[in-house]
């Protein structure tokens, strides 16, 4: 796939790739930036392989390279410099590029994956290499003669799978980002990051807890769904409520656990069941009883009741209200 782009468009696509690798690889839930190094000079001497055990080892190796000057920066500093490049502004100080030390949070793999990204302004390229990982492909994205090219760097027998990923997923997505995103989009992405609900919890903690809850409850709940002869889609509701439960538990770890919670409009009651099984005291209310309620443990408190705003009273021990499926007028 070929498409004529400008250098400004190229770096626009790279900004979005840095934050959204999970959009081009379904194995990844999210990527967390652990450290950013600004390379003032000597980027050509920076190691191009990731044979080290961790990014800490990489930092040590980089510190020994001669004729190289680096300084630690924040992710915000990195995005600021990239935007300056996109806006065609002169950089405030000498900068040949950046090194980005990531942790990629996996959806199903047992371990998360560390990686190093290298932004090279001199060679107009971005490289991403994974540490001791056979599940993801190292790659480089380059701006050459007004075209965006992708090169797979992984040196192993991967057959056509890597090429298909490069040709039909990574490159088309980058071209779309490069040609369709505007400066306004880039700024709104940054502003929204502060208000997204997932930013209220630690992403790594959330992802690990979600995987734990899946392994703990998913199979049991599928059996309950079958025995109760529920007509709703178990895959949709089970994994959705497992994710919500993981989120709430992580949030409560941060802000303090509730004395008691009430889920208004609890539907099948699964969220109440999961939270109760994890040791949280609470109640679920719905206007109609569901068959599946009879299959939960006795610790799951589900109440068939119409909620009249003027007369309804919560139990005295409730200090947290959940209204995910509650409709108000």
The domain that holds 295 is classified in CATH as 3.40.50
Among 156, 174, 195, residue at a domain's last position: 195
Flag whether 178 is in a domain: yes
The token pair that represents 245 in the structure block? 């439960």
Same domain, 178 and 208: no
Distances (CA, A) of 260 to 249, 269, 272: 13, 16, 11
The token pair that represents 47 in the structure block? 């190691």
Flag whether 328 is in a domain: no
Flag whether 1 is in a domain: no
Alpha helix positions (H), 158-202: 161-165, 171-180, 183-193
What is the predicted pLDDT for the residue at 91?
A: 67
What is the predicted pLDDT for the residue at 26?
A: 94
**Using a CB cutoff of 8 Å and minimum separation of 24, what contacts does 186-194 make?**
186/12, 186/15, 186/16, 186/83, 186/86, 189/16, 189/19, 190/79
Among 133, 160, 195, residue at a domain's last position: 195
What is the predicted pLDDT for the residue at 184?
A: 54
Residues spanned by the domain of 234: 200-322
Q: How many domains does the chain have?
A: 2
- Residues 97-154 pLDDT 10s: 999 999 999 998 889 999 999 999 999 999 999 988 888 999 999 999 999 999 999 8
Same domain, 139 and 215: no
> Nearest Cα to 251, choosing from 273, 280, 211, 277?
280
Same domain, 137 and 268: no
Among 195, 218, 252, residue at a domain's last position: 195
- Residues 291-329 pLDDT 10s: 999 999 999 999 999 999 899 999 999 999 999 765 443
Same domain, 124 and 259: no
Same domain, 175 and 205: no
More confident residue, 209 or 153: 209
Same domain, 98 and 176: yes
The reported pTM is 0.83
What is the predicted pLDDT for the residue at 193?
A: 45
Distances (CA, A) of 266 to 32, 68, 309, 323: 33, 59, 16, 8
Same domain, 153 and 30: yes
Same domain, 187 and 229: no
Name the average pLDDT for the chain.
87
Same domain, 170 and 221: no
> Nearest Cα to 154, choosing from 181, 122, 130?
130
Burial 91-108 (b: 16+ CB within 10 A, else e): eeeebbbbbbbbbbbbee
Left if phi > 0, otherwise alpha if psi is -120 to 50, otherwise beta: which for 301?
A: beta
Given the DSSP bridges, would you call strands 125-130 and 113-120 parallel, antiparallel or unpaired? antiparallel
- Provide the strand spans (E) within the chain: 28-41, 69-73, 97-106, 113-120, 125-130, 139-144, 147-152, 261-264, 282-286, 301-304, 320-322
Burial 46-61 (b: 16+ CB within 10 A, else e): bbeebebeebeebbee
Same domain, 166 and 69: yes
The token pair that represents 33 in the structure block? 């930036």
Under a CB-based contact definition with an 8 Å cutoff, are residues 268 and 227 in contact?
A: no
């Amino acid at each position: 796939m070929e498409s004529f782009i400008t250098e400004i468009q190229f770096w626009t696509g790279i900004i979005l790739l840095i934050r959204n690798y999970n959009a081009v690889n379904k194995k990844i839930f999210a990527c967390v930036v652990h450290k950013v190094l600004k390379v003032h000079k000597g980027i050509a001497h920076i190691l191009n392989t990731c044979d080290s055990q961790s990014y800490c080892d990489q930092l040590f190796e980089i510190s020994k390279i001669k004729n190289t000057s680096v300084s630690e920066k924040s992710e915000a500093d990195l995005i600021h410099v990239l935007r300056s490049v996109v806006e065609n502004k002169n950089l405030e100080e000498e900068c040949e590029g950046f090194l980005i030390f990531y942790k990629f949070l996996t959806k199903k793999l047992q371990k998360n994956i560390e990686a190093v990204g290298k932004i090279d302004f001199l060679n107009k390229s971005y490289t991403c290499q994974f540490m001791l990982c056979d599940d993801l492909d190292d790659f480089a994205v380059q701006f050459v003669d007004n075209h965006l090219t992708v090169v797979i760097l992984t040196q192993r027998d991967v057959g056509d799978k890597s090429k298909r990923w490069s040709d039909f997923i990574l490159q088309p997505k980058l071209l779309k980002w490069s040609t369709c995103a505007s400066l306004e989009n880039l700024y709104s992405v940054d502003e929204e990051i502060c208000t997204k609900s997932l930013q209220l919890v630690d992403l790594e903690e959330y992802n690990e807890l979600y995987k734990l809850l899946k392994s703990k409850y998913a199979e049991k709940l599928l059996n309950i769904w079958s025995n109760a002869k529920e007509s709703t889609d178990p895959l949709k509701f089970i994994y959705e409520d497992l994710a919500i439960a993981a989120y709430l538990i992580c949030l409560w770890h941060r802000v303090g656990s509730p004395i008691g919670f009430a889920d208004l409009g609890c539907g099948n009651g699964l969220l109440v069941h999961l939270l109760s099984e994890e040791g949280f005291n609470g109640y679920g209310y719905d206007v109609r009883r569901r068959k599946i309620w009879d299959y939960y443990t006795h610790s799951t408190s589900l109440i068939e009741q119409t909620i009249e705003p003027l007369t309804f009273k919560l139990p005295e021990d409730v200090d947290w209200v959940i209204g995910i499926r509650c409709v108000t007028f």
